[in-house]
Amino acid sequence: MTSKLPDLLIHHILSFVKVKQAVQTCILSKRWRYIWTSLPFLNFDISDLPQQSYRCNYHLDRLVDNVLSLRDNRCFDMRRFHLIGGYAAFKSISHLRRWIIGVARSNVEDIYVQFYGSYNNNDREFRVLDCVFTCNLLTKLELDLSTSCKIILPNFISLPRLRYLKLNNPSFDYDALTKLCNNCPLLEHLDLSGIRNSEPLNINISSHTLKHLSLGVANSSAPLNITISSLSLKHFEVHIGYHSSIHNTLRLCAPNLVYLVLSNLDYMLLEDVSSLVRADVGVQLKPRKLNAKFWRIHAQDTLKSLKSLRNVKDLTISLRPLKDVRRVQELLQEQPFEFSNLQRLKLQNISPSKDSMHAIASLVKISPIIESIKLELCQDVETNYSYNHNYNYNHSDTDAEQEMESDPHTGEPTVDLEGLLADTMKQLKSVEISGLQGSDNELEFIQILMKNAMVLKKMVLRTQLYRSRIEKFCEEEENFPSASSSLRICFHLLQNF
């Protein structure tokens, strides 16, 4: 019965199995004997082969070679080539280069290659051949060759139908991405991870079709300047490793952006993100020892960026370094605005200091319809991030900093914590605090929340305290007045290994 099925239907059935299983169907009948040689879908996976290291590598190498050499390209073009393997499977990465040449000449539409494990020292670079980046029918390309093998893009690129591109550990000059976007007119999804730059790098991307953009910088030892302009962009992520002495900047214009993730950018010019719904922002406040005047200008620019996010419904903020959180309240007073749509607020890397509690209260105060607050407290304020102490600063700069840090008479914030939170939190329903240490500042903050949040239903407190300290904490918390009759408080004891 199966012998009467048309080739297209058999190909569709075999597209759901790996190549090894597809080849084994040749024993079913004479009709099926050579059908696998014209398969348009080839899926190779080292995990499906014998688990002994040498045999597994040998079998995968031989399997790919045999299938590609015996394939009949006369009737059916190759639509999909997926390969998951390890470097030890091949004598050289030149095997992969040879396979991809053959695949590219078969008018392939989808290429996915993932390698892992150790590799030959001569294979530190993989130069993508021109034939791959000139495939007229290619719609999807994904290359993941481990974090130690650079992917070198060709000089000439022309992919008129490419919609999805994902590269791990790419190496390119400042013109490469511009050239890539200009020569991929239908590109919708671009994901570049493992970017490394030892010299200043400018990334300029302008596209009318790009909907998803993700950039990951694994090791940056020089400034990174990013400029993005896209009318279609919906999802944008930038992940950069923290470095206290490097200035990474972003200029973004994406009026239809819905989701935004930014980490360790100390200058963000968000020109148009008016449609933004969800944002996760890592604010990198530079150490004040650089220069008091410079720090104030830099911090004001950072606040302007936060102000650009005022329409979001879901906001996560991570402040680095932790000790500079005290500036939030001061800057919010200088440049007032409201998160008029904000419903969910999450703050990370926050210390339980009085300055931090005032910073949190200042953000809550300008969020009139907030429903959920999540705090991730971090105790190690002074040593969590290493500062670069090679900067020269004089005594007058230090004096200026002291004047900025506190009230000249009391040394404390001028507005008390309860005063900041008065007549706020009218819609607050859920609070979750992780990393509690049982400090007076934490207790005061929780007490004010309970006293003012009239519709608060759930408060989750996570801690690694010893049981005796938890019991004492609970005793004090039980005596706090609660404005909500339906409040439920849950303690979670986390094991400290």
Tokens, residue 96: 């992969």
Higher pLDDT, 164 or 79: 164
Higher pLDDT, 21 or 453: 453
Angle (deg, nearest 10), helices 440-452 and 467-478: 40
Residues 6+ apart with CB under 8 A from 102: 68
Residues 6+ apart with CB under 8 A from 276: 257, 258, 259, 260, 309, 311, 312
Check whether 4 has a pLDDT greater than 60. Answer: yes
For 430-466, letters b (16+ CB in 10 Å) and e give ebbbbbbebbebbbbbbbbbbbbbeebeebebbbbbe
Higher pLDDT, 292 or 420: 420
Ranking 35-39, 308-312, 480-484, 485-489 by mean pLDDT, the lowest is: 35-39
- pLDDT recorded at residue 53: 47
pTM, two decimal places: 0.79
Higher pLDDT, 165 or 362: 165
- Closest C-alpha to 152, from 136, 135, 174, 167: 167
Domain map of the chain by residue range?
40-187, 314-333+342-379+417-496
Mean pLDDT, residues 440-465 taken together: 89
- pLDDT recorded at residue 384: 36
Check whether 491 has a pLDDT greater than 80. Answer: yes
Mean pLDDT, residues 26-50 taken together: 69
CB 199 within 8 A of CB 222: yes
Rounded CA gap, 31 and 7, in Å? 10
Order across the sheet with 125-127: list the strands.
125-127, 150-152, 170-171
Ranking 234-243, 274-283, 299-308, 456-465 by mean pLDDT, the lowest is: 299-308
| Alpha-carbon dihedral angle through residues 60, 66, 68, 72, given to the nearest 10 degrees | -150
Check whether 47 has a pLDDT greater than 80. Answer: no
What are the CB-based long-range contacts (under 8 Å, 24+) for 125-130?
125/149, 125/150, 125/152, 125/171, 126/93, 126/96, 126/97, 126/150, 126/151, 126/152, 127/97, 127/152, 127/154, 128/152, 128/153, 128/154, 129/97, 129/100, 129/101, 129/104, 129/154, 130/154, 130/155, 130/156
Q: Which helix (H) or strand (E) holds 280?
A: strand 278-284
7: left (phi over 0), alpha (psi -120 to 50) or beta: alpha
Rounded CA gap, 124 and 100, in Å? 18
Check whether 131 has a pLDDT greater than 50. Answer: yes
Mean pLDDT, residues 57-73 taken together: 72
Mean pLDDT, residues 298-306 taken together: 71
Check whether 25 has a pLDDT greater than 90. Answer: no
Fold topology of 314-333+342-379+417-496: 3.80.10
Rounded CA gap, 153 and 291, in Å? 41
- pLDDT recorded at residue 92: 57
pLDDT digits (tens, 9 = 90+) for 380-418: 544 333 333 333 333 333 333 333 344 443 444 445 778
Higher pLDDT, 124 or 357: 357
Mean pLDDT, residues 449-457 taken together: 92
Check whether 186 has a pLDDT greater than 50. Answer: yes
- pLDDT recorded at residue 457: 95
Check whether 82 has a pLDDT greater than 60. Answer: yes
Mean pLDDT, residues 350-377 taken together: 89
- pLDDT recorded at residue 487: 92
Check whether 203 has a pLDDT greater than 60. Answer: yes
Banded model confidence at residue 29, pLDDT cuts 50, 70, 90: low
Total residues found in the chain within this entry: 497
Average pLDDT score over the chain: 77
- pLDDT recorded at residue 202: 85
Mean pLDDT, residues 108-119 taken together: 80
pLDDT digits (tens, 9 = 90+) for 244-265: 567 788 899 999 999 999 887 7
